[in-house]
Amino acid sequence: MSVKIYYEDFALNDSRKTTGRTITDADIVLHAGQSGDFYPHHMDEEWCKTQPFKHRIAHGTLIFTVGVGLTAGVINEVAMTYGYERLRFIRPVYINDTISTTIIIKDKKDHKKPGYGIVTELLEVHNQHKELVMVCEHLLLVEKRNPDA
Amino acid sequence: MSVKIYYEDFALNDSRKTTGRTITDADIVLHAGQSGDFYPHHMDEEWCKTQPFKHRIAHGTLIFTVGVGLTAGVINEVAMTYGYERLRFIRPVYINDTISTTIIIKDKKDHKKPGYGIVTELLEVHNQHKELVMVCEHLLLVEKRNPDA
Amino acid sequence: MSVKIYYEDFALNDSRKTTGRTITDADIVLHAGQSGDFYPHHMDEEWCKTQPFKHRIAHGTLIFTVGVGLTAGVINEVAMTYGYERLRFIRPVYINDTISTTIIIKDKKDHKKPGYGIVTELLEVHNQHKELVMVCEHLLLVEKRNPDA
Amino acid sequence: MSVKIYYEDFALNDSRKTTGRTITDADIVLHAGQSGDFYPHHMDEEWCKTQPFKHRIAHGTLIFTVGVGLTAGVINEVAMTYGYERLRFIRPVYINDTISTTIIIKDKKDHKKPGYGIVTELLEVHNQHKELVMVCEHLLLVEKRNPDA
Amino acid sequence: MSVKIYYEDFALNDSRKTTGRTITDADIVLHAGQSGDFYPHHMDEEWCKTQPFKHRIAHGTLIFTVGVGLTAGVINEVAMTYGYERLRFIRPVYINDTISTTIIIKDKKDHKKPGYGIVTELLEVHNQHKELVMVCEHLLLVEKRNPDA
Amino acid sequence: MSVKIYYEDFALNDSRKTTGRTITDADIVLHAGQSGDFYPHHMDEEWCKTQPFKHRIAHGTLIFTVGVGLTAGVINEVAMTYGYERLRFIRPVYINDTISTTIIIKDKKDHKKPGYGIVTELLEVHNQHKELVMVCEHLLLVEKRNPDA
């Protein structure tokens, strides 16, 4: 469950897709409980009926948590998260929507730390209608196999 | 619990600080359960002892969830989240660290959608030692009081 | 998020209403898990079908927990809970009912502790049909601004 | 697991004591998540250090939930909860305190509904130091075996 | 809540049936979070639609946990779990199915440890349609009242 | 994340070991809440002090759930769980113990269903002291690549 994928091993435009996950009422209730965000957009079905989106919607931080979490699996021992850029919530996610994440290698560049590079993964989260609901860029700090290259 | 704070009402460099929240083992266990990320960095105290960080550390998505969640409270009816930029995890957060978030109005600019502007809040999450552990920019799409201005 | 509202500041018959919260299956499952109360009234849909109330109902302690919790928000530094009186569960709360709490200042009286008074808040919890489901009196021990008055 | 204990069967001053339950950090985290009450008294260990009580304390509604929940077990088919009176939180409950509940039959009286009586159970919750931490009266509406008596 | 039921007290073919428990989405979400098993059989409603079983199904370990947990209640001070045999998952359990457990004393035999015997309880878990969904044998190591017998 | 490993591909005595997982108070609290088993062995630290094992211990069903859950990861499309045998809880697991599971291919045999065989995996769960805490046999019903062999 643990591998070494070096900077040189990442190929631009390579992509993979995760399994899906149905976002349910329990996910939203647990996320409200973890984040402390009990806004009526997530917790009050009656109020939501009076709004354009009509039904309770998932927290943005929940979709980010699950969207990123779906990509976990194999540990790359020579990479670590550097940060995230351009996180956007494109469409609401409703209870019983099923989301999955597509990871696309979008960019590679040297890093100021010798022997390391930055790999940019584009994460696209889609719902069951193939609609994009969230997007962000995940920056990975990755060791080079050949530090002098 | 619901107010209207228009684009014009945001003043550059204004800041506020949230209450604190102690991150505990239960938070990490619940977050692993929500994200599906059971990497040993978060879940295996014995393995962590063999690593430079020595102890289990909180998931990045947990710190983002709580760091953002701490800022929730009053609903601004004329603003919505546009996205996040420059999310960085600066230092690990350990079990029993206490974090709080400082919100600083860092930038304002017009948006292409008439009558709206983008307000950039800088979110800085510190631990109990006043060390910065996470930082990001929160972009808010905010209605103008005077749409023609 | 922290204010000082003294005994003198409470005015009889003043009232406020909280946001709403939809009580879901996840709330009941989590409450059974916290309370240890797995009575079939809450956990066995098939048995409930044979009863007058027909469907699983929320625990009384869950409605008290959420009904009181909805009133949390701003911390009053000069008040603390003294106790609760006349707690009654008037009607069952079903899965997907949405409840909110109305707080009414019902009584004020001096307390034996010099410089303090007791403020009685009437808490009324209603469902989405404006039916009363729970009621109780919340006794607050509140500092006087003018202790000699 | 289901019995019939009629009004006539309750004897004044009869008492029983439940098993114990250790209140842990996980209980408080889950209760904050259920109630929406994230006050620093429960969630911010650093702030608590500056207060007279020194450490995070359990929510009152958590102690009520567990204190009452501990009494659950056998279902009495001919009784139902009528309400609670005189709920008082006497001492704080800290993480790792162990509480148990003593139930004492304190009062019996006829009810206006023919064939029913009200039984008052005094619930006393103690910690591991035999200190009283919570007390309340539980009113039970109980069927009479002999409705004409 | 604590009794002594000795080896001699168990009678072959004696049986009892527990109360029921409705298995809900929240149970599955919490169980995925506890077990770390996020297989699409349990978490991805869209993928399940393409499979013969059509809908998300409960984890086997969840049904074992609840099926065994339902039998808890009174503590037998002179017995302890020795192990389980022949655990089989006969039919899938779907969201909103209600399960209960029947316990049948199936076998008794001496144990090598003097003064103890092994009692085999057959646990049968049925759904609301009286279909068997899980079965296993629970081996109990039980003290003899008369160790010399 | 999905592979096809046929009956013929399993080699006797092949083994693999999972990552570790620290069992914490939160795991036990959540498992009590899921199973409904609040026995003092798991929930009452004060009572445990009076017992030979001295401290709260994890539920057997929790160790089974996590011990099996740790083996999840890659989905084998041509195999399904047939059942479990010889489940034994050898030693107690305490809060903050770290467990991992070793999977050893122990037996293979034809199954009455044509084109299928039964593979027996021995699951051994050890704690951080390399002590065996749980053991069981996992029976897998596996498709043959060559059904006529």
Nearby residues of E53 by Cβ (< 8 Å), 6 or more positions away: E41, E92
Which sign does the torsion angle of CA F34, A55, C97, E55 carry? negative
Residue E135 lies in a domain: yes
CA distance A34 to A21: 19
Other beta carbons less than 10 A from residue A14's beta carbon: 12
Residue C74: the pLDDT is 85
Residue B148 lies in a domain: no
Name the average pLDDT for chain C: 96
Q: Do residues D142 and D9 touch, judged by C-beta distance below 8 A?
A: no
The CATH number of whichever domain residue D39 belongs to comes to 3.10.129.10
Whole-number pLDDT of residue B2: 84
pLDDT in the model for residue D148 = 74
- Comparing A140-144, E130-134, F73-77, which segment has the lowest mean pLDDT? F73-77
Please check the confidence at residue E74 and state whether its pLDDT lies above 90: no
Residues 6+ apart with CB under 8 A from E144: E6, E7, E8, E115, E116, E117
Closest CA to B123 of B138, B143, B142, B144: B138
Mean of the per-residue pLDDT values for chain E?
96
F46 domain-assigned: yes
Has residue B76 got a pLDDT over 70? yes
- pLDDT bin (cut points 50, 70, 90) of residue A73 is confident
- What is the rounded average pLDDT of the residues A105-127? 97
To the question of pTM greater than 0.80 for the whole model, the response is yes
**Mean pLDDT for the stretch of residues B118-146:** 97
* Out of B70-79, B130-139, F103-112, least confident range: B70-79
> Is position F149 within any domain?
no
Asked if C94 contacts C55 with a C-beta cutoff of 8 angstroms, the reply is yes
Bridge partners of B89? B134
Please give the backbone phi and psi of residue D135, each rounded to the nearest 5 degrees, phi first: -145, 145
Beta strand B2-3 pairing with B15-17: unpaired
Contacts of E89 in chain F (CB under 8 A): 81, 83
CB spacing of B69 vs A39 below 8 angstroms: no
Specify the length of chain A in residues.
149
Specify whether the CB–CB gap between D102 and D124 falls below 8 A. yes
Domain assignment of residue E115, given as a range: 7-143
Q: State the pLDDT at residue B73.
A: 82
Task: For residue F23, give how far its alpha carbon lies from the nearest alpha carbon of chain B (Å).
Answer: 9
Nearest to E46 among A20, A26, A27 (CB): A20
Alpha helices by DSSP H, listed for chain D, are 25-35, 40-43, 45-49, 60-69
ipTM summary value: 0.95
For chains B and C, count residue pairs whose Cβ atoms are closer than 8 Å.
Answer: 7
Mean pLDDT of the region F30-46: 97
Q: What are phi and psi of D8, to 5 degrees?
A: -65, -20
- What chain D residue is nearest to E75 in terms of C-alpha separation? D19
| H helices, E strands: number in chain D | 4, 8
* Secondary-structure breakdown of chain A: helix, strand, coil percentages, each rounded to the nearest 5: 20, 40, 40
**Residue A149 within any structural domain of the chain:** no
Query: What is the structure's pLDDT at B132?
Result: 98
pLDDT (mean) for D98-125: 97
CA D76 from centre of chain: 17
- The DSSP bridge partners found for residue D141 are D80, D118
**Position E22 in a domain:** yes
- The model's confidence at residue B117, banded by pLDDT at 50, 70 and 90, is very high
d(CA A123, CA C55): 42
Q: How far apart are CA D6 and CA D119, in angstroms?
A: 10
Cβ within 8 Å, pair C33-F30: yes
In this complex, which chains have at least 3 CB pairs below 8 Å with chain C? Answer: A, B, D, E, F
Task: Judge whether residue B16 has pLDDT over 80.
Answer: yes
Q: What are phi and psi of F56, to 5 degrees?
A: -55, 140
pLDDT at D87: 98
User: For chain E, how many structural domains are there in total?
Assistant: 1
Element (H, E) at D65: helix D60-69
Shortest distance between the Cα of D36 and any Cα of chain A, in A, equals: 6
H-assigned helices in E4-149:
25-35, 40-43, 45-49, 60-69
Q: Which residue of A has its CA nearest to C24?
A: A25
The reply to whether D148 falls in a domain is no
Digit-coded pLDDT (tens) for C29-87: 999 999 999 999 999 999 999 999 999 999 999 999 999 999 988 899 999 999 999 99
Can you tell me the mean pLDDT for D50-77?
95
In chain A, which residue's Cα lies nearest the Cα of C99?
A44
Residues of C within 8 A of D141 (CB-CB) are none
Which residues from chain C sit within 8 angstroms of residue B73, using beta carbons?
1, 73
Strand partners, E21: E99
Compute CA distances C144 → C76, C106, F77, whole Å: 13, 18, 71
Residue C134's pLDDT band (boundaries 50, 70, 90)? very high
